[in-house]
Copies of this chain bind each other. A is one copy, B any other.
Amino acid sequence: MKTEKVSELTTNRLSVYLRCLNDLAAAGAETISSHALAEQFNLNSAQIRKDLAYFGEFGIRGVGYYVEELRQHLLKILGLTEKRRVAIVGVGNLGTALANYPGFNRDSFEIVALFDNDPAKTGIRTRSGLAIQSTEKLCDVIKHENIEIAMIAVPASAAEKVLEEITEAGVKAVLNFAPIHLNPKPGVKVKTVDLTTSLESLSYFLVNPNSQGADGVNLDYREFLSQETGANGAGD
């Protein structure tokens, strides 16, 4: 087990591998090779082995990986064996959709608080029975409820303020849906999902179809999740 820094590209992939292993386990598969796993995602098999090698030696030469065992390792690595408490700030259409989104692993993430600054909304319950609270209570509730993760689903103009407040309250991990660059304090991780940028970047590829890769072969080129601007340092 090494202690090099692990890039976000790697952690994203680990999550994808995990999803696949869940399916394989459900289907009753005993083992899987890096090659077979790689095929599922148009990835190189060495990539998968390298990703896993950051954390240990989980495979068996000549055999591959035991599905259930590797699944457990990934759960552990990604910190999904403990349930984390999540708040959503901004309960408009997007916030509501996130609150009801069935895709989050509910064993690992429990949404326990919703906040909105619109007084007309406070007290209203979502489908799950959770009541919307005033943003005035943000700090208090986050502390009392031991909330570790926040999703920001407010307009861009309000996002910075929200980040400050939840940081103040001790939140260390933020999934930001506001289309704005946020500058978190040290020790706070912000991951932005920018729908505007995703769509506009797609538009580019409509105008330049050939820029996708090459000649008929779909290279599946860098299609997925989670890089902001690639910013690597503090500018010049």
A contact set with B: CB distance below 8 Å? 5-9, 11-16, 18-19, 35, 38-47, 77-80, 84, 92-94, 96-98, 100-105, 108-109, 148-149, 155-156, 172-175, 179-181, 183-209, 211-212, 216-236
Contacts and interface: CB of A to CB of B under 8 A. Distances in A.
Nearest 9 A-B pairs (CB), nearest first? A224-B228, A79-B207, A93-B97, A15-B200, A97-B97, A223-B228, A15-B197, A189-B205, A11-B201
For A38, A198, A216, the residue with the greatest tally of chain B CB atoms inside 10 Å of its CB is A198
Given A225-B198, A234-B219, A84 B8 contact: no
A193 to B, nearest CB: 6
13 contacts: A9-B229, A9-B230, A11-B204, A14-B201, A42-B233, A45-B235, A47-B230, A102-B155, A105-B200, A183-B218, A193-B195, A219-B231, A220-B231
* Oligomer copy total: 2
